[in-house]
Amino acid sequence: MPRDTLTADRIIRAAIELLDDEGLDGLNMRSLAKRLGSATTAVYWHIKTKDDLVRLAGDAIWHEIELPDIDATDWRTAATAHATGMHTMLTRHPWLGQAFGSHLLYGPGKARHDDFSLAVYEKAGFSADDADRAAAAVLVFVIGSALGHAIELSLKHRLSKNGADAEQLMADAVARATESARQFPRLRERLGTTAATEYAAAPDNTFAFGLQSLLDGFEARLAADHTSRRG
């Protein structure tokens, strides 16, 4: 593909696909250029460094999240939809979780969601400072909840290098972890009703349970603050 047919947007989209397939460690300009059918130098013409590419790709995927109409719904419904959308996006693109710890990430896509989060919690009745805290608490929870999938994929990529059987290595590790867990009463009781292969996995609906519990806490705090002001 000649250089003049490339655009930064096409390069970023191809980079997202490559990152989804290979993870953060699998991204390099040569592989990306091959995917685009272009010369590596043509990619560098539009985006100068790999760090810039990760930053741009990382910001672009925030636009995949649909923002609810905050004026047409209550704050809690909007907060649930927004957090769930973030979680889905992070699970779809697990490399972003890795990138948080290794790259400087910023841009209008992420800023748009930060601004929306503040609007949600201000609508709930929080002061500006507490809206910041609520939005940050939810973001940290969402990232943490999605990180398990990112860690698993990153580990599989690393274990499978040099032709190793990553699935077998992980199964062996879970089996050894299960034997260690059987020494402790509560874990032993749960393992009596749970397949050993599920020992390292979070129970179903863990994300929804945690999110609703967090929002319950916000609602209780708002109610307490309202009662205190009336008193």
Taking only the tens of pLDDT, the chain with its 231 residues reads 444 489 999 999 999 999 999 888 889 999 999 999 999 999 999 999 999 999 999 999 999 999 999 999 999 999 999 999 999 999 999 999 889 988 999 999 999 999 999 999 999 999 999 999 999 999 999 999 998 877 777 777 777 777 788 788 878 888 888 888 888 888 888 787 655 555 556 666 889 999 999 999 999 999 998 777 776
178-203 exposure pattern, b = at least 16 Cβ within 10 A, e = fewer: beebeeeeebeeebeeeeeeebeeee
- Is 152 within 8 Å of 18 (Cβ atoms)? no
- What's residue 1's pLDDT? 40
Q: How far apart are the C-alpha atoms of 139 and 143, rounded to whole Å?
A: 6
Find all residues with CB under 8 Å of 137, minimum gap 6, and list them. Answer: 214
By three-state DSSP, how is residue 222 classified?
helix
- What's residue 29's pLDDT? 93
Cα–chain center distance at 230: 40
For residue 31, the number of C-alpha atoms closer than 13 Å in the C-beta half-sphere is: 14
By three-state DSSP, how is residue 106 classified?
coil
pTM, to two decimals? 0.83
